[in-house]
Amino acid sequence: MKYGRVYNFSAGPAMMPEEVLEDIAAEVLNYRGSGMSVMEMSHRSQVYQKILDDAEADLRKLMGIPENYKVLFVQGGGTVQFAMVPMNLMKNGVACYIETGVWSKKAIPEARRYGEVLVPASSADRQYSYIPDCSNLEIPENADYVYLCENETINGISWPSLPDTKGKTLVADQSSMFLSRPCDVSRYGLIWAGVQKNVGPAGMSVVIIREDLLRDDLPQYVPTYLRYKTHADNGSLYNTPNCWAIYCCGKVFRYLLDNGGLEAQAKRNEEKAAVLYDFLDGSEFFRATAEKNSRSLMNVRFVTPSQEEDAAVIAAAKAAGFENLKGHKSVGGLRASIYNAMPKAGVEALADFLRKYEKR
Amino acid sequence: MKYGRVYNFSAGPAMMPEEVLEDIAAEVLNYRGSGMSVMEMSHRSQVYQKILDDAEADLRKLMGIPENYKVLFVQGGGTVQFAMVPMNLMKNGVACYIETGVWSKKAIPEARRYGEVLVPASSADRQYSYIPDCSNLEIPENADYVYLCENETINGISWPSLPDTKGKTLVADQSSMFLSRPCDVSRYGLIWAGVQKNVGPAGMSVVIIREDLLRDDLPQYVPTYLRYKTHADNGSLYNTPNCWAIYCCGKVFRYLLDNGGLEAQAKRNEEKAAVLYDFLDGSEFFRATAEKNSRSLMNVRFVTPSQEEDAAVIAAAKAAGFENLKGHKSVGGLRASIYNAMPKAGVEALADFLRKYEKR
């Protein structure tokens, strides 16, 4: 790769498109004749307002976001959203969370601070290696919403289709699959995504929320910042936002539009993932852990016959220039995160390396 | 200025040192041979851990932060801290807020969500143009803390000396004067500063908190993210932080250390502010609005005889390349924010421009 860059398989923060980084580097000292870095600009200036407006407009175009949805750029990632979702959406004080791995599981105790949480389906029985059948969930009449994590980064599983929420509002954490494929936003009440996996630098979430879910009548203890309405009413400028992240993400939105949109990106992602899964399925040494119909195209988790062998492969891969292949500490094994910005050549090189390693 | 850069008098986000920006630009595509941008790095990687550790160590050195204080890098700025402070520090449910302008005033209703707020002193009577006498405040025995905003960006006033808190914990919002002069941290229980004014890009606050103020026994409704202890127990890595802001701020901390530390910076700031205040004091057209003993060295607010003249000066200044001299919409007039990174030449050029404008 150019500039001595490496294939970085980190689960997040993760790779960004090289063209986008080149563009950013060229603008650090003076953004398009403004005489300032984007980092130095008043968030109330015309030049910055255009950056923000363009980012939102491009994201709307990319995802086809209906007009009755607001797009919010909110500081913080999952930990903040785990609280904001129940604080803002629990009206009856009951919600259903589908437990499919570390990230959906982590959201549950935070939601329990604010109401009752039911878990109508879980894949804990087989180490979160699959998405459970959600065609006929037990969802109480007074449930405020059904929550899921659409791609579990750590176990490498992803929802093949959305659950039947029995008419209840669907809330999805899309952090690690955001913009990886077309998305019918109208099926969701709220989508949130920490941007540091598939879009830009850490420090922000994109929230897409249907307008009727914006509420004024929240409990007094909900801080101003943690009210979605605060951000919606002020075009994400109630306070100084993470201006830099919005700028960088805006460039990625534009990059995706210029490269065929989400249909084309989904095709590239399918091809990339197939390179790796096809190799793993044919291997006698490596094994993909996710069940076939739930495999993530973003995070490919796999193992060797032993933890010792896992560690040996990770070390050899690192020495060969493949960074961050170690699985999450909670599950071990190996994991190749191959988000939008990972070039196909990077996945092919990794598959090649693993093939040779196995032969040896 | 180099690179076609302008003198940017924005109240924040604001100028950063040119050398720091040059350094950042050079590292966007590959940070010191890591093969990655800092924006692409796992926050759990060794290379990133060193960036974080160095930033904290340099800040500790710069401010002489005692060992019994934790340094936290928390996402969000003032709006988040306005809630975090009372949520974490109100044990008896009573706090005293000194009202000296827009920012201290904004903190009060947010604190009232969580307990009783008393206002033992205010400078509202003269449009927040001075810091009130705080040598003998009425502070109840059960007050959890005394809160102040050490530099009011909008009205351009700053505390000449700290109040007598009668032994109660002092909490300071230092956002717009952070690192502008030496600071005896031991006099405070908690200091917080949004970094986008005097340090780096928006999207983060530095929190310096005395360890005994870190509590486990908070009300259930306090989100995990808004507990100082969450960040303190995990070295600011409970979740993915604003990695980019930490990196940029770390470079500014290092830059300040390399340029004589806070003593030298304070001297430079005094000299810069004197250039402008001396001119204003001698002018018959312009007038500084802050009372002399409360003048901010960071935000110099001034007016002409009329709003029409104010607007004319702002327009002429912009045409001459002096950006963002318009006062905050809530108070009008003009304001020159001359933070650490504003070169003395910029202030001299502005004073020169205003002198010529007045003659004409």
**% of residues, chain B, pLDDT over 70:** 100
Residue B146's pLDDT band (cuts 50, 70, 90): very high
Q: How far is CA A61 from each of CA A77, A186, B248, rounded to the nearest angstrom?
A: 23, 14, 32
Helix (H) or strand (E) holding A287: strand A287-288
Contact assignment for B10 to A114 by CB distance below 8 Å: no
Residue from A24, A81, A102, A225 to probe the interface with B (highest B Cβ count within 10 Å): A225
* Chain A residues whose beta carbon lies within 8 Å of the beta carbon of residue B80: 75, 223, 225
Give the whole-angstrom CA distance, residue A10 versus residue A8: 6
CB B110 within 8 A of CB B119: no
pLDDT of residue B360: 86
Find residue A204's DSSP bridge partners.
A75
Please give the single-letter amino acid code of residue B162: L
Predicted complex ipTM:
0.98
Find residue B92's DSSP bridge partners.
none
Contact assignment for A224 to B83 by CB distance below 8 Å: yes
* Catalytic residue status for A318: no
CB A169 within 8 A of CB A146: yes
Angle at B29 between CA B25 and CA B35, to 5 degrees: 135
Q: What is the CB neighbour count within 10 angstroms for residue B322?
A: 21
Q: How high is the mean pLDDT of chain B? A: 97
CB B334 within 8 A of CB B314: yes
Q: Is the pLDDT of residue B1 over 90?
A: no
Which tokens hold the place of A293?
Answer: 């119909």
Percentages (nearest 5) of helix, strand, coil residues in chain A: 40, 15, 45
- Helix pair A243-258, A261-282: axis angle to 10 deg: 80
pLDDT mean over B31-42:
97
Contact assignment for B226 to A223 by CB distance below 8 Å: yes
* Catalytic residue status for B233: no
pLDDT mean over B290-315:
97
- The predicted-structure confidence for B44-80, as pLDDT tens digits, reads as follows 999 999 999 999 999 999 999 999 999 999 999 999 9
- Sequential DSSP letters for A205-218: EEEEEEGGG--S--
Q: Is the pLDDT of residue B348 over 90?
A: yes
The pairing of beta strand A94-97 with beta strand A116-118: parallel
Q: Which residues of chain A have pLDDT under 70?
A: none
- The predicted-structure confidence for B171-206, as pLDDT tens digits, reads as follows 999 999 999 999 999 999 999 999 999 999 999 999
- The predicted-structure confidence for A290-335, as pLDDT tens digits, reads as follows 999 999 999 999 999 999 999 999 999 999 999 999 999 999 999 9
* Catalytic residue status for B103: yes
Please give the single-letter amino acid code of residue A60: R
pLDDT of residue B97: 98
User: Helices then strands (H, E): number in chain B?
Assistant: 9, 14
pLDDT of residue A360: 86
- DSSP E strands in A87-133: the ranges are 94-97, 116-118
- The predicted-structure confidence for B241-278, as pLDDT tens digits, reads as follows 999 999 999 999 999 999 999 999 999 999 999 999 99
Give the whole-angstrom CA distance, residue A99 versus residue A155: 12
pLDDT of residue A169: 98
Token pair 């920006």: residue: B21
Contact assignment for B202 to A242 by CB distance below 8 Å: yes
Which tokens hold the place of B160?
Answer: 């000449």
